[in-house]
Amino acid sequence: MKRLWSLLAASVLLGALGQGPANAADPTKIKVGILLPLTGTFAAVAETQKQGALLAVDVVNKRGGLNMPWGKVTVEGVVDDDEAKLDVGVRRYRYMVSEGVKGVGGQTWAPLAYALNAIVSKEPMPYFPICVMAKEAFQKGKLADSTFAVAYSPWTVGYMAGKSAVQTLGKKKIFFLARSDSWGWDMRDGVYAAAKEFGATIVGYDEVSLGTSDYTTILQKVRAAKPDVFIAAQFAADSVALLKQVHQMGLGKEMTIFNGFITNVVAKGLPPEALQGVYAMHYFYYDLSGFADKEAAKSAQEFTALFRAKYNTPPDAYATIAYVAYTEMFRGFEAAKSFDAPKVSAALMANGGKFNTVKGPANWRQDHSAAYKYAAFLVKGKGPGEQKNEWDLFSVIGSMGGESVLPPLKALGY
C-alpha cells in the first residue's frame, strides 16, 4: 500500500511540474512544409528553392536542432508540389497543416502565395513565401500578421532595374516589356518611378502573357523605338526564349539589354553569345570576390562553400531566398521560445526586426518586407572566352539596397 501511495504522489508531483501529458506541447522533433511548383513552368527555379530550404534544415539539425526551452528539437522538411495551381496549392497546404507542420514556406508563383497568405490571415501559421509577391500583398490589412516575405515585390525589382539603367549605366531612353500580370505591371510601375525620379524617358512599352514563345513582332517594335536600353520583365523560361531571340536579331549591338530579374538557371539556358553583355538584377550572385564590402563577400563565399558541399553547384538566387526564409523561420521559433504564430511574429519584429543574411544585414519592415543593405546585385553577363568555368556567368557591377528601393510605407497604407 505504501508503494502505491508513493507512486500516486510521484505522479501528482510530475503533473504539477509539467512533466506529465503537457510534454506533448514540447516536441523533440517538428515538421515544416516546403511547398513548391516542382512540375510545370517554374520547375527549374522551384528545384533550387527546394535545395535552399533543405540546406537550412540540414544546418539547424547538424547543430543538434532548434534551441528551445525544453531542449533540442530536430526539424523535418516535408516537400510537396503545388503545381503553380491555386486549387492544388491550397489543398496541399491544408494537408500539410493537418499533418501538424509548425511553419510553411514556398511558392514561386505569386498568386498562390497571396492565396495562402489569405488563409494564414484567418488561421495563423508562420508563413514564409519565397517568391517575389505582388506589391498589393504588402498593403496594410492584406498581409497576414504571421507572413514574412524575404523577397520584395516586383515594384522593387523594376525600380532597381530602372535606377541602375539610368544612374549606373547612364541610359536615358527606355523601352519596357511587361508581362500581362501583377509581376509585369508592378515591375513596370517601378521602372516608371525610377525613370521619373532620375530623368529618363519611356520611349516604348508593350506587354505579353506568361509563356509567350515568339517575341519577333515585339522586338521589331523595340528596334523601331530606338531606345538606349531595353528592359524586360520576363522570367525563367520566358527570359531564355526572349534573350535568345534578342541575340538572333542582333539588338544588343543597337542598345543595352537589361533583363529585370535573373537567375543562374536562366543564364545556363543561354548560349554564352546570348548572355554576353546582358545586364540584370540578381538577388544573390555567389561570386562576390571583387565586391567592395569584403564582409559581405566573405559571407557569400562561406554560404557558397556550404551549398557546394551538399549539391556540387553554387547557390542560385532563389535557393538563397529559400535559405534565408527558412533560417529566419527557425530564428523566429528560437527567439519566441515557441511555435505559436503570434509569438514568432513578435520575436522576429523585436529589436527593430534586425537580422543577418548570407549577403549582409537586413531588417523586417512594418509591412513584413525585408529591407536589405544589398537587396540585389547589378550583374553583367559573360560571353565566350570570358567564362572560366560552367558557373562563371556574370560580373558584379554594383548593388542596390536600403529602404529607398522599397515602396514607401505610407503608400502601402501604414
pLDDT tens digits, 178-216: 999 989 999 999 999 999 999 999 999 999 998 899 999
pLDDT at residue 11 is higher than 50: no
133 shares its domain with 167:
no
The secondary structure element, H or E, covering residue 117 is helix 110-122
369: nearest Cα among 408, 326, 318, 327:
408
Cell numbers placing 236: 525563367
**Is 296 a domain residue?**
no
Taking a C-beta distance cutoff of 8 angstroms, is the pair 243, 265 a contact?
no
184 shares its domain with 309:
no
Taking a C-beta distance cutoff of 8 angstroms, is the pair 84, 49 a contact?
no
Query: Edge-to-edge, what's the strand order for the sheet holding 354-357?
Result: 354-357, 360-364, 370-372
Kindly report the length of the chain. 414
| CA–CA distance, 346 with 13 (Å, rounded to integer) | 34
What is the reported pTM? 0.91
Q: What one-letter code names the amino acid at 370?
A: A
Taking a C-beta distance cutoff of 8 angstroms, is the pair 384, 393 a contact?
no
Residue with cell 523601352: 175
In degrees and rounded to multiples of 5, residue 27 shows phi and psi of -70, 155
pLDDT in tens, 269-323: 999 999 999 999 999 999 999 899 999 999 999 999 999 999 999 999 999 999 9
The secondary structure element, H or E, covering residue 346 is helix 341-349
**Is 21 a domain residue?**
no
Least confident range of 36-40, 159-163, 218-222, 392-396: 36-40
pLDDT at 295: 95
pLDDT at residue 18 is higher than 50: no
89 shares its domain with 36:
yes
| CA–CA distance, 44 with 50 (Å, rounded to integer) | 10
| CA–CA distance, 372 with 332 (Å, rounded to integer) | 18
Cell numbers placing 257: 539589354
Exposed / middle / buried, residue 199 (Cβ in 10 Å: 0-12, 13-18, 19+): exposed
What average pLDDT score do residues 144-155 get? 96
Taking a C-beta distance cutoff of 8 angstroms, is the pair 304, 358 a contact?
no
Given pLDDT bands bounded at 50, 70 and 90, which one contains residue 24?
low
| CA–CA distance, 175 with 225 (Å, rounded to integer) | 7
pLDDT at residue 36 is higher than 80: yes
For residue 379, the domain's CATH number is 3.40.50.2300
**Is 72 a domain residue?**
yes
The total number of structural domains in the chain stands at 2
pLDDT at residue 265 is higher than 60: yes
- Give the burial string for 91-103 (b: 16+ CB within 10 Å, else e): ebbeebeeeebbb
**Is 311 a domain residue?**
yes
Per-position DSSP letters for 391-404, written without gaps between them: T--EEEEEEE-SGG
**Angle in degrees, CA 92, 60, 362, rounded to 5:** 85
- Give the burial string for 12-30 (b: 16+ CB within 10 Å, else e): eeeeeeeeeeeeeeeeeeb
**Is 292 a domain residue?**
no
Q: What one-letter code names the amino acid at 132?
A: V
Q: Please, what is the end-to-end C-alpha distance for the chain in angstroms?
A: 68
Given pLDDT bands bounded at 50, 70 and 90, which one contains residue 237?
confident
340 shares its domain with 194:
no
242: nearest Cα among 216, 280, 273, 207:
216
127 shares its domain with 49:
yes
256 shares its domain with 242:
yes
405 shares its domain with 273:
yes
**Is 203 a domain residue?**
yes
| CA–CA distance, 188 with 184 (Å, rounded to integer) | 6
Mean pLDDT in the chain?
93
| CA–CA distance, 300 with 302 (Å, rounded to integer) | 5
Residues above pLDDT 70, as percent of the chain: 94
pLDDT at residue 9 is higher than 60: no
pLDDT in tens, 60-84: 999 999 999 999 999 999 999 999 9
pLDDT at residue 171 is higher than 60: yes
Taking residue 236's Cβ as centre, other Cβ atoms within 10 Å add up to: 22
| CA–CA distance, 400 with 377 (Å, rounded to integer) | 6
**Is 46 a domain residue?**
yes
Given pLDDT bands bounded at 50, 70 and 90, which one contains residue 23?
low
**Is 233 a domain residue?**
yes
pLDDT at residue 2 is higher than 70: no
pLDDT at residue 5 is higher than 70: no
> Domain limits at 79?
28-151+303-372
166 shares its domain with 259:
yes
pLDDT at residue 21 is higher than 70: no
- Bridge partners of 236, per DSSP, are none
196 shares its domain with 109:
no
pLDDT at residue 122 is higher than 50: yes
Exposed / middle / buried, residue 9 (Cβ in 10 Å: 0-12, 13-18, 19+): exposed
Taking residue 140's Cβ as centre, other Cβ atoms within 10 Å add up to: 11
267 shares its domain with 400:
yes
Query: Edge-to-edge, what's the strand order for the sheet holding 279-282?
Result: 201-208, 173-179, 229-232, 256-261, 279-282, 376-381, 394-400
Q: 286: helix, coil or strand?
A: coil
pLDDT at residue 362 is higher than 60: yes
257 shares its domain with 320:
no
232 shares its domain with 352:
no
